[in-house]
Amino acid sequence: MNRHNLLDPRILTIADLVEEGAKRVPQIYNGDGGAEEMTTVRDNVEAFDRYKLRPRILRDVDGTDGPLGFAPAAAHKLAHPDGELATSRAAATNNIPMALSSWSSESLEDVAAQGSGNPYIMQVTFFKDLSVTQMIIKRAEGDFLLAHLVYCELTACLLVAGYKAIFVSVDLPVLGRRLNEARNDFTFPRHVQFPNLNFPKSEGGRTPSPEEVDYDPTIIWDRNLAWLRAQTKMEIWLKGVYTAEDVEMAIHHKLDGVIISNHGGRQLDGVPATLDALRECAAAGRGRIPIAFDGGIRRGSDIFKAIALGADFCFGFLFGDWRTMEKLVLTLLSSFSSKVSNKP
């Protein structure tokens, strides 16, 4: 079957989606930016073109898996009124994992309720107020009593979330300096709320935005990982690992996995592309710890290259109308399968 027949002829690739989305989403809400001069944002994408494929023939490639999931990203309602609910439906339809941001614009319970047995992962951050981080973890794990006691006013919390793992963002001791957002006078519109966070409400009853809260700049391996393990029985993966030395530290601390990520270039500008960092990290961790990857994925060949360079799994950043996302996931996986069919 030609899966392209399923698609809007204007949107056949992720690049098409970005271009079409830019026409519909006001510049002030454009999330396709990054830190400082956005050098790393560009390099994340361009790095894939530096690696070429070396195909082999007469190989059995029947029944290949598509190692792709949705990466956590804040406030999907900036792109579509259904927000993370639409993303979750697309993940469920394609039976792929979805990682949800703490800064999602839909509750973690409602997002998981859209699923159909596909895995859900909760992204968390070390806030200075650790009770906020703790509550997200308890709700994700399905601690009904604690969630109900603290969030009794939210009927959504009567649902048991049952997430499988947490992704702990460790590249966020402070928020990145995002100059493009300042130039665009970026602000979250009133319809975008953050129901997973129990920060004190600001005037007008709004949850503070990411720029208005305090992250913990004192996080360290021993203390913070011990605290995490005391909170949950879920798998703990570190998101934002970037060097062989930190892969070794993750193995030493018996983490369940690492995600090679530079926050999409939105935190520290000037670091290498994640694909380049992956080579170093995979060499250190191969066979010793699961390695996932995100950053710059636009094509099925990008997924293939990341897997060939040592990733066990890839997470892509995508949100919008769920039918469009469903079709694009099919396109990515179809493109990936075509590369596997000519695998090196």
Query: In this predicted model, which residue has the larger pLDDT, 257 or 15?
Result: 257
**Residue 212: φ, ψ to 5°:** -105, 0
Q: Which parts are annotated binding residues for FMN?
A: 72-74, 101, 123, 239, 261, 294-298
How far apart are alpha carbons 167 and 100 in whole angstroms?
9
How far apart are alpha carbons 232 and 252 in whole angstroms?
19
How far apart are alpha carbons 133 and 102 in whole angstroms?
9
- Mean pLDDT on 34-38: 66
Amino acid at 84: E
- Mean pLDDT on 191-204: 79
Q: How many CB atoms lie within 10 A of CB 201?
A: 10
pLDDT computed for residue 203 by the predictor = 61
- 3-class SS letters over 178-245: CHHHHHCCCCCCCCCCCCCCCCCCCCCCCCCCHHHCCECCCCCHHHHHHHHHHHCCCEEEEEEECCHH
Beta bridge partners of 235: 165
How far apart are alpha carbons 100 and 189 in whole angstroms?
20
pLDDT computed for residue 21 by the predictor = 67
Summarised one tens digit per residue, pLDDT across range 279-324 is 999 999 999 999 999 988 888 889 989 999 999 999 886 655 666 6
* pLDDT of 344 over the 60 cut: no
pLDDT computed for residue 209 by the predictor = 67
Q: Which parts are annotated binding residues for glyoxylate?
A: 178, 263, 266
Q: How many CB atoms lie within 10 A of CB 205?
A: 7
Domains in the chain: boundaries: 3-50+65-338
Q: Which parts are annotated binding residues?
A: 72-74, 101, 123, 178, 239, 261, 263, 266, 294-298
Of the candidate ranges 2-11, 65-74, 77-86, 206-215, the one whose mean pLDDT is the lowest: 2-11
Summarised one tens digit per residue, pLDDT across range 222-276 is 999 999 999 999 999 999 999 999 999 999 999 999 999 988 777 778 789 999 9
How far apart are alpha carbons 162 and 30 in whole angstroms?
32
Provide the mean pLDDT of the chain.
81
**Residue 31: φ, ψ to 5°:** -95, 10
Catalytic residue numbers read 263
Summarised one tens digit per residue, pLDDT across range 113-136 is 999 889 999 999 999 999 999 999
- Mean pLDDT on 181-191: 74
Of the candidate ranges 20-34, 172-186, 282-296, the one whose mean pLDDT is the lowest: 20-34
Amino acid at 92: A
Six token digits for residue 48 = 């894939």
pLDDT computed for residue 211 by the predictor = 64
How far apart are alpha carbons 214 and 160 in whole angstroms?
29
How far apart are alpha carbons 14 and 38 in whole angstroms?
19
How far apart are alpha carbons 99 and 122 in whole angstroms?
6
pLDDT computed for residue 157 by the predictor = 44
pLDDT computed for residue 266 by the predictor = 74
Which architecture does CATH list for 3-50+65-338? Alpha-Beta Barrel (3.20)
CB 114 within 8 A of CB 106: no
pLDDT computed for residue 214 by the predictor = 83
pLDDT computed for residue 331 by the predictor = 67
Beta bridge partners of 236: 166
How far apart are alpha carbons 158 and 110 in whole angstroms?
10
- 3-class SS letters over the chain: CCHHHHCCCCCCCHHHHHHHHHHHCCHHHCCCCCCCCCHHHHHHHHHHHHCCCCCCCCCCCCCCCCCEEECCCCCHHHCCCCHHHHHHHHHHHHCCCEEECCCCCCCHHHHHCCCCCCCEEEEEECECCHHHHHHHHHHHHCCHHHHHHHCCCCHHHHCCCCCCEEEEECCCCCCCCCHHHHHCCCCCCCCCCCCCCCCCCCCCCCCCCHHHCCECCCCCHHHHHHHHHHHCCCEEEEEEECCHHHHHHHHHCCCCEEEECCHHHCCCCCCCCHHHHHHHHHHHHCCCCCEEEECCCCCHHHHHHHHHCCCCEEEECCCCCHHHHHHHHHHHHHHHHHHHCCCC
Q: How many CB atoms lie within 10 A of CB 210?
A: 17
Model-level pTM? 0.85
* pLDDT of 27 over the 90 cut: no
Summarised one tens digit per residue, pLDDT across range 64-114 is 677 889 999 988 888 788 999 999 998 998 888 999 999 999 999 999 999
Summarised one tens digit per residue, pLDDT across range 135-147 is 999 999 986 455 5
